[in-house]
Structure 1
């Protein structure tokens, strides 16, 4: 399996628009505790695996001696925790059920990003609550979603449970921003985006309400988005 995962220096300058087939997003946002060994499934990328378990993809790459992070195959074992045990290929992921993992404290920073959409916050960040890894902002029909800060698109798709159609952008200093519940997307993996650039359109959450799930991660761990966009709307 070959899919693009963001690598520093990789830039793809083409863009595209795609529609999300579902009317609203289902699933859980729970931060899963990583298994010692994960077996690659169809549709996985190194980046999506890292995001699912709150890990740094570069650490996974180094830990498994991957020379090309874009080349992983179905059934391939990936060591997510340090171990000296020998790995073997499996056709399925036979790992046991996972528990919710802990999160890191949000660092004190100066908020200089912009809000991805204009709207009322209907759910705040709460690191102790499943489904509150970020904030949710009420939206309107056909409302444009914009990049909160410049960066490179690291992931675009609906392969992350609970996020629906999502775009994830990598920024400097180990920061990532995610834009979930999108009905349409206008960017491509590897594409550079500017601050305030249109990246998608607001879609429906599981409660059938128009809203955006906006999430920020630092070194793989969820942090409070308000530390970067502020408490009040600005664009």
Structure 2
């Protein structure tokens, strides 16, 4: 395992070949946001992969999964030496009206980004499903921004503050709060071992962490928290990777 000497000026942080692929050991001074940037993943991915309830309460020496379950093994990227150029990794596809993320160097060294996996082709024989059933639309408004691998990891659905937001599929709430900057009031639902869904910028959250929800259940009220207009930012993730929700949702 990596040592946890931390970001002490002049100290040398050694890495050990025994560090498992896809795993990171928390060092002093590190934040979940910084770790996400280091490995080129997003905060909701780390929250979902590790079942975290409070992303601000990670502990030194704690082991975190930094790759989705079943990901191919390989070497873990180390922080770049001081002076290297850091490639910012967007937290999500929120528009320019979202609150910007604060850069947080880890141990005085810049993070490096892991190249994104190529887009996964649609499964033959129809749209993907979750837990054996079809997905439902989480809100009734029109789509005002579509999915983009580069700039928007989900759909932005317009509406008015207070409009109902529904669970797109049955599952367990693994995150409900406002601790992930750029998402406002956020809900993450785990549907099975492969699928999670993300609901951001809500005005009011109606469910709590560890709560089981039914498909179509009202889980929040649409809002504009950390957004320039009322909308629902909705993501579907398969093994932590965002995939275009339009491939999953029924035509309407």
What are the ranges of 5 or more consecutive residues in structure 1 without an aligned counterpart?
1-33, 62-68, 85-91
CA contact (8 A) 1:54 1:220 kept: yes
**How has the CA–CA distance of structure 1 residues 53 and 180 changed in structure 2, closer, same or farther, with 3 Å as cutoff?**
closer
What are the ranges of 5 or more consecutive residues in structure 2 without an aligned counterpart?
1-21, 68-73, 77-104
1:110-154 per-position Cα deviation (integer Å, ceiling 9, x unaligned): 562111110111110111x23x00000001121011101110101
SS of residue paired to 2:248? helix
CA contact (8 A) 2:185 2:225 kept: no
Which aligned pairs between 1:1-235 and structure 2 lie closer than 5 A? 38-39=26-27, 52=43, 54=45, 73-76=58-61, 78=63, 80=66, 93-94=106-107, 96-99=110-113, 101-103=115-117, 104-108=119-123, 109-110=127-128, 112-127=134-149, 129-130=150-151, 132-204=152-224, 206-232=226-252
1:76-113 per-position Cα deviation (integer Å, ceiling 9, x unaligned): 354647669xxxxxxx9425234374144253325621
**How has the CA–CA distance of structure 1 residues 120 and 53 changed in structure 2, closer, same or farther, with 3 Å as cutoff?**
closer
Q: Residues of 1 paired with 2:244 and 2:155: CA distance?
A: 8
Deviation at 1:161, TM superposition (A): 2.6
CA contact (8 A) 2:235 2:242 kept: yes
Q: Residues of 1 paired with 2:28 and 2:136: CA distance?
A: 36
Structure whose alpha-carbon radius of gyration is higher: 2
SS of residue paired to 1:226? helix
Deviation at 1:226, TM superposition (A): 1.3
1:7-39 per-position Cα deviation (integer Å, ceiling 9, x unaligned): xxxxxxxxxxxxxxxxxxxxxxxxxxx996554
- Kindly report the root-mean-square deviation, in angstroms, between the aligned alpha carbons of the 2 structures: 3.7
Q: Tell me which of the two structures has the higher relative contact order, counting C-alpha pairs closer than 8 angstroms and 6 or more residues apart.
A: 1
TM-score by length of 1: 0.62
**How has the CA–CA distance of structure 1 residues 230 and 141 changed in structure 2, closer, same or farther, with 3 Å as cutoff?**
same
TM-score by length of 2: 0.59
CA contact (8 A) 2:44 2:188 kept: no
SS of residue paired to 1:153? strand
**Range moving further from structure 2, 205-214 or 157-166:** 205-214
**How has the CA–CA distance of structure 1 residues 36 and 182 changed in structure 2, closer, same or farther, with 3 Å as cutoff?**
same
**Range moving further from structure 2, 71-80 or 182-191:** 71-80
SS of residue paired to 2:43? helix
Q: Residues of 1 paired with 2:227 and 2:187: CA distance?
A: 20
